[in-house]
Amino acid sequence: MTAPLTVQAPLTVQVPLTVHVPLDAGRDYDIRIGRGLLDTIGEAVAGLGARAAAIVTDETVAGLYGERVRASLEAAGLRTGTVVVAPGEGSKSYATYAQVCDGLLAHRIERNDVVVALGGGVVGDLAGFAAATLRRGVRFVQAPTTLLAQVDSSVGGKTGINSPHGKNLIGAFHQPRLVVADTATLDTLSSREMRAGYAEVAKYGLIADAGFFDWCEANWAGIFAGGPERDEAVAICCRAKAGVVVRDEREDGERALLNLGHTFAHALERLTAYDSARLVHGEAVGIGLALAFRFSARLGLCPGQEAGRVANHLALAGLPTRLHAVPGGCGDAGAILAAMAQDKKVRDGALTFILARGIGRSFIAPGIDRAEVEAFLASEFAAA
């Protein structure tokens, strides 16, 4: 039995704050959280002993923060280059991965240098995978600029790209040397991107801390408005994920709990061809979380009122919670089930879900009967 995932109770956060990830063999690193941290990122990267750095970012983030980060790196004495990709999930592709690798090589990035992933989860996953494979592994720093990336994808060392067969099926575990979460960058996010990131915030309470979910219900508006609740939420989520990563770095057990809702979500992303105009990751997660709780209720594991409470809160925060909310549709029950067949948690062809006995009481459920899943999905389409 794995140790339970625990989220510390919300406390007043003194920012800038450092959350330490104490991995072994000298691979430990810090997550620095606070406003304005991009202005000193050059000093932090130089402190790692690098002589050169290459920024990997997308066109949108480059226009907002690229010059600022480049100036900070150069002021710290680092030779600096930039590789810019198109925004959106479509960049997690073989073609863009090759573009990034070639760009890093053109900037003469060596193993002792640093790749700086400046952007959201797409950039972090893509740049991290390029760093993991370039010269058989170079160091990288995560500088997440979205709520989703700051609370989830920038921490833990999962990197990768998508395949036509499924999401994140090509990748590597490659831990960053530092995470710099400048929460001021969230001021420039669209309301859609903030909502998408909030799905991952709520997820931490749904997994194993009902008290944190209570706090989210009371404070979600402050997170969106940029009050002190925002930095507090980022710190709590990072602290929780850091604990899980230390206990189960390669997802052999407990870390799979962090995929609550994601078996459904990744299938929906695949069926919408990773088209961010139709569905971004956090929106898919919102639907997936609601589905996971309704499926748990259907199986008699979770009280129906708990599932309703989850869906109501996500909807209040502006997230979709039903399959019919996917623009352009997402096929039928059979199509979703087929898309799930390539989920990373599949073992010997059997589906593994993260289900729940209630809010804050999720668990790993291997070998779920496909007929049960298909019947549930069919009922969800019928309910629309």
250 vs 255: CA distance, rounded Å: 8
Q: 255 an active-site residue?
A: yes
Distance between CA atoms of residues 35 and 270, nearest Å: 35
Task: Identify the active-site residue in 70, 92, 139, 158.
Answer: 158
Separation between Cα atoms, residue 184 and residue 179, nearest integer Å:
15
Verify whether residue 158 is a known catalytic residue: yes
Residues 61/116, Cβ–Cβ less than 8 Å: no
Catalytic residue among 167, 281, 344, 361: 281
**Active-site residue flag, 269:** no
> Which residue among the candidates 255, 294, 344, 361 is catalytic per the annotation?
255
Q: How far apart are CA 131 and CA 111, in angstroms?
A: 9
Q: Which is the catalytic residue, given 139, 177, 241, 344?
A: 241
Active-site residue, selected from the candidate residues 89, 229, 251, 269: 251
Which tokens go with 252? Answer: 């052999």
DSSP 252-270: SSGGGGGGTTHHHHHHHHH
For residue 181, the 8-state DSSP code is E
Which pair of structure tokens corresponds to residue 195?
A: 């909502």
Catalytic (active site) residue 251: yes
CA distances to 203, 291, 380 from 373, in Å: 21, 11, 11
Do 298 and 307 form a contact (C-beta atoms < 8 A)? Answer: no
Catalytic, out of 259, 313, 344, 345: 259
Q: Is 76 helix (H, G, I), strand (E, B) or coil?
A: coil
**Cis amide linkage into residue 303, ω under 30° from 0:** no
Is 200 one of the annotated active-site residues of the chain? yes
Look up 107 and say whether it is catalytic: no
Active-site residue flag, 266: yes
- In which region does residue 123 sit, left (phi positive, over 0), alpha (psi from -120 to 50) or beta (all else)? alpha
Closest to 299 in 3D by CA, of 365, 372, 351: 372
Which entry of 167, 266, 278, 313 is annotated as an active-site residue?
266
**Whether residue 167 lies in the annotated active site:** no
Active-site position among 262, 270, 344, 361: 262
Structure tokens at 153: 């994808």
Which of 89, 200, 249, 254 is labelled catalytic? 200
Give catalytic residue positions.
136, 158, 200, 241, 251, 255, 259, 262, 266, 281
